[in-house]
Amino acid sequence: MNSKRAAIDEDLRVAFAIRKEVFVKEQGVPLEDEFDQFDILNGLYEHILVHYNEQPVGTGRIRFIDGVGKMDPLALELY
């Protein structure tokens, strides 16, 4: 398993697909509540992708404030 920072639009598209699958389809979160103004590249949050066997399986976003990181939301697809 490895992780990387989302650096290009395609990375962000993959991260959003995972979040949509986990939160909207599986947990019933309304689509309009899942995404917000922080879901952009090079913004206040860094978006992270997690890969297992070279397949994207997880994502999260992290924001650093005063040297402390806060990660939300965290989504993992289970196989």
Distance CA 13, CA 57 (A): 13
SS3 assignment, position 67:
coil
Count of domains in the chain?
1
Quote the Cα angle for 13-19-22, to 5°: 140
CATH of the domain at 35: 3.40.630.30
Domain hosting 8: range is 2-76
pLDDT of residue 60 exceeding 90, the answer is yes
* pLDDT for res 73: 85
What is the predicted pLDDT for the residue at 35? 95
Helix (H) or strand (E) holding 15: helix 9-19
Are 45 and 63 within 8 A, CB to CB?
yes
Q: Compute the Cα dihedral for 30, 33, 37, 41 and give only its sign.
A: negative
pLDDT at 72 over 90: no
What's the pTM?
A: 0.89
Q: What's the pLDDT at 78?
A: 78
Residue whose token pair is 């990387």: 4
